[in-house]
Amino acid sequence: AQTIHQWPVAEIKAVGSPLSLGCTIKGKSSPNLYWYWQATGGTLQQLFYSITVGQVESVVQLNLSASRPKDDQFILSTEKLLLSHSGFYLCAWRTPNSDYTFGSGTRLLVI
């Protein structure tokens, strides 16, 4: 069975500090991976997607970047956090039946 794991579970960071969030999927080779951002109680906004190692496509510009260093790993990062980066970050992969399975998310508070 495939599992998707995100880390850390939550972060409190200062404005201007760097950030790195991780996502790992096990049990699936060459998954399509996605990063989403969600404001509290809000909709899900797709940020990035990756269909293969080393290849990442940006969907919106939010002063964030993403990388796919390994087949099962997707990283979201920035060098300087903004207050507007606060929210819930979700990693997802596309299952064979075209559903999108989400991880349990990372809650980020920028102060």
Contact pattern from residue 54 through residue 83 relative to other proteins, giving x for each residue in contact according to CB under 8 A and a dash for the rest: -----x------------------------
Contact predicate 108/8, CB 8 Å: no
> In angstroms, rounded to a whole number, what is the distance separating the alpha carbons of residues 79 and 59?
19
φ and ψ at 6, to 5 degrees? -115, 145
> In angstroms, rounded to a whole number, what is the distance separating the alpha carbons of residues 84 and 63?
10
Q: Does 105 bind other proteins (CB under 8 A)?
A: yes
Q: Does 23 bind other proteins (CB under 8 A)?
A: no
What is the size of the binding site for other proteins (CB under 8 A)?
23
Q: Enumerate binding residues for other proteins (CB under 8 A).
A: 32, 34, 41-46, 49, 59, 90, 92, 94, 97-105, 107
